[in-house]
Structure 1
């Protein structure tokens, strides 16, 4: 199963910018930890970061038919981007939203997430560990979806056999 991790604006500056808020860990280090978890759980993982809203929308759309799950930190676009929200809603892929800082303890304008209502869940305020929690959550969601599909296939096969 494939998980795509999409990182929004300024996350390429982790480890440099506002360490008192975002911590000292660099994005590459977070991704290395996520990759290790993915490998341990037999998942393919792909990383994408952009400071441009349209590129993020394009990458979400490219996940359709190519990815089983999305982990996204829309960063500042969380609070402003109807386009990213609509792209997440359109692809109908299990999506988890992650924020390093607790957006509800910060400036008032950060308290509203436009993207959270179309995501399966939101992890906020756990620092880099939030990405690990997202991987655990995504692994569980994908496992449950796989089991549900297998169960449905068995039920359909049993119905077809009963009708024959």
Structure 2
């Protein structure tokens, strides 16, 4: 049987902020039963289907997220980020993403606009190429599809 290979067009950082390490056990009625490991598996599969390589990371600390974003400036062609609660509080993460100058997609498991009022504003959204919220873990599939299109268009 002949194997077809997908040409890798880029490397995408999939970055999760505080608390996704608790997925599957933290408020499953709100966040679902998928674990962070399940999310990362979907990210690797989705990225590969679009000619990308996904590198997944998670930190409960704002500085760890900023450090990872800074590394992305030279190592990655795009970023998909679920900043979690940091999206509502962190200008540092927003500024780091703005400095990367690569496609950025913000993803949230829940619809932040249907939740508490303080969650309605995200500092990250203003520098993101796309924002996906309320799609559960499927949001990561969408979050990786968009950078693949943007990276592919830039390669032409």
* Same fold flag (TM > 0.5): yes
1:89 aligned residue: 98
Q: What does the per-residue CA deviation read over 1:42-97, in whole Å, with 9 as the maximum and x for residues that have no partner?
A: 31110110000001000000011110000000000000000000000111111000
Q: Aligned ranges for residues 1-164 of structure 1 at < 5 Å?
A: 1-147=10-156
Stretches of structure 1 lacking an aligned partner (at least 5 in a row): 148-164
Structure 1 or 2, whichever has the larger Rg, is 1
TM-score by length of 1: 0.87
Greater relative contact order: 1 or 2 (C-alpha under 8 angstroms, separation 6 or more)?
2
- Structure holding more helix per residue: 1
Distance in structure 1 (CA, Å) of the matches to 2:54 and 2:139: 17
Stretches of structure 2 lacking an aligned partner (at least 5 in a row): 1-9
RMSD of aligned residue pairs (Cα, Å): 0.8
TM-score by length of 2: 0.92
Superposition deviation, residue 25 in structure 1: 0.5
